[in-house]
Chain A
Amino acid sequence: MGSDRDAAVARVPLMRTTFASILLVASAVLARAADVAGNAENGRLLLRQYGCGGCHRIPGVEAARGNVGPSLEGIARRVYLAGRLPNTPENMVRWIVEPKAIHPGTAMPDLSVSEAQARDMVAHLYRLR
């Protein structure tokens, strides 16, 4: 639902038509950790299982002290993901599931994380304020 909506939004010229779709995204941005659907505890385990800590420092995840990519400390407050994507729970799910679709040149690998798993990971990551 999220990616369809975002894709639709991307085609709507902002100045010419309505802002209704933008507002949906806006409200998503303002979403707080509590609004993120997903099991944070399971997400924490998944972040370890998928080896995310090999590249990222992730508070709450054992041995996650990698410094290949940026630290995820305070990631819930970060404004952009992957250097360009507005940080919303939906966009974070998309980025984890299909990083190369968002940024073809990225060093972040496609780890075949399912959308449901990504949702749980995001629930944990959105606790890191």
Chain B
Amino acid sequence: MRLRSLAAIVVAGGAAAVASIVGLGLYDISATDQHLAPTYWLLDTSMRRSVALRAKRIDVPPLDDATKIARGGRHFDAYCVACHGAPGIAPEPFALGLTPTPANLAHTAREWKPADLFWTIRHGIKMTGMPAWKYRLSDDEIWSIVAFLRVLPTLTPDRYRREIGGRPPAATVVARTQRATTGDAARGKRAIHQYACATCHAIPGIVGANAPVGPPLEGIATRAFIAGVVPNTPATMIAWLREPQAFRPDGAMPNLGMSEADAADIAAYLATLR
């Protein structure tokens, strides 16, 4: 009897929660804020499982063909870089505003199976910025992109620029955040989502930030050096965040057009990671 009333309370509570999310609009759908951790986990896991299930029966053609890889490189540069960026090249400013932030594909290419990559490019992913390319590219062309993606993690930023991305790095648009430059950690924690930091770094306290493209930022507050080249001080951290390629022209970390105010806020957040 007691069990039954408990179940009734749980059901009623669940219904009330769903009603307030759906009916009252309580869930924050804005792209300026990352999902709550449980929501993120639910969406991310469902997405990975969904892709894996649908890609299971896809036959992977030979991908080691030189011409195919070269063709894929041209497609990648034309269609993918704007949102995903490339080694040393930031995504376009509009893409930094997407939630979820488009993944760094050098990382994805190391972790995902070729069939999963093919399926995702071909069909896209609902409620993300990832479009379906099925009606725009032939399967052959999509496979060529997959073939190139497998090579992408082997390219230094310099090689990518010289041999694939013929155009100069996109002019950085400095974000229009005009504020006093006293850093505020709470603002910084939100701003981190707007500069795709989590697509490359594991950052404590940031939902979804677990990518191992660059070093993890756990303990960054007390790390002696930034990027292996400059002593870590509040001022050098702000300078580095604003223009990493001034310190490391050949580095994989791109200039992201970060405003001084946002850099100060993000540096203030990083300073809390002891």
A-B contact number at CB 8 A: 116
Interface residues of B in 31-65 (CB under 8 A from A): 64-65
CB within 8 Å of A: which B213-257 residues = 213-216, 218-219, 222-225, 227-229, 248, 250-253
Chain A residues contacting B176 (CB-CB under 8 Å) are none
Docked CA distance A78–B224 (Å):
20
Q: Mark B17-32, 1 if CB is under 8 A from A, else 0.
A: 0000000000000000
Q: Which of B66, B87, B225, B252 contacts A69 (CB 8 A)?
A: B225
B residues in contact (CB < 8 Å) with A: 64-66, 69-70, 73, 87-88, 104, 106-107, 110-111, 150-151, 153-159, 162-164, 202, 212-216, 218-219, 222-225, 227-229, 248, 250-253
Contact B212 A77 (CB under 8 A): yes
Docked complex Cα distance between A81 and B229 (Å): 14
- In addition to A30-B150, A80-B214, A84-B87, 12 A-B residue pairs with Cβ atoms within 8 Å of each other are A15-B73, A22-B151, A26-B150, A70-B216, A71-B218, A74-B202, A78-B212, A79-B107, A80-B87, A83-B214, A84-B157, A84-B158
Option from B162, B215, B225 in Cβ contact (under 8 Å) with A107: B225
Instruction: Say which residue of B153, B157, B223, B228 sits within 8 Å of A29 (CB atoms).
Output: B153
| Residues in B whose Cβ lies below 8 Å from that of A101 | none
Alpha-carbon gap, A79 to B251, bound state (A): 13
Complex: chain B residue closest to A10, CB-CB = B159
- In angstroms, Cα B153 to Cα A29, docked, is 7
Q: Does A25 contact B (CB under 8 A)?
A: yes
Nearest Cβ distance between residue A109 and chain B, in whole angstroms?
11
A34 interfacial contact with B, CB 8 Å: no
Instruction: Give chain B residues whose Cβ lies under 8 Å from the Cβ of A86.
Output: 153-156
How far does the alpha carbon of A30 sit from the alpha carbon of B224 in the complex, in Å? 32
Q: Is the interface of A mostly helix, strand, loop or mixed?
A: loop
Chain A to chain B: the 5 pairs with minimum beta-carbon distance, closest first: A70-B215, A19-B66, A14-B163, A68-B224, A79-B213
A82→B229 CA distance, assembly (Å): 10
Given contacts A15-B163, A68-B223, contact A85 B70 (CB under 8 A): no
Contact across chains for A70 and B66 when beta carbons are under 8 A apart: no
| Residue numbers in A under 8 Å from B202 (CB-CB) | 74
Cβ of A46 under 8 Å from chain B: no
Whether B223 lies near A22 (C-beta < 8 A) is: no
Min CB distance A55 to B, Å, is 8
Asked if A80 and B213 make an inter-chain contact with CB atoms under 8 angstroms apart, the answer reads yes
Neighbouring A residues of B228 by C-beta, 8 Å: 69, 82-83, 103, 105-108
Q: For the complex, what is the distance from the CA of A105 to the CA of B231, rounded to whole Å?
A: 12
The answer to the question of A42 belonging to the interface, with a C-beta cut-off of 8 Å to chain B, is: no
Q: By the criterion CB–CB under 8 Å, are A26 and B227 in contact?
A: no
**A 28-73 contacts with B by CB, 8 A:** 28-30, 55, 57, 67-71, 73
**A67 proximity list for chain B (CB < 8 A):** 219, 222-224
Binary flags per residue of A89-109, CB closer than 8 Å to B gives 1, else 0: 000000000000001011110
25 A–B contact pairs at CB < 8 A? A14-B163, A15-B164, A18-B66, A19-B69, A22-B151, A23-B66, A26-B150, A30-B150, A55-B224, A57-B219, A67-B219, A67-B223, A67-B224, A71-B216, A71-B218, A77-B111, A78-B214, A79-B110, A80-B106, A80-B252, A84-B157, A84-B158, A84-B248, A106-B228, A108-B228
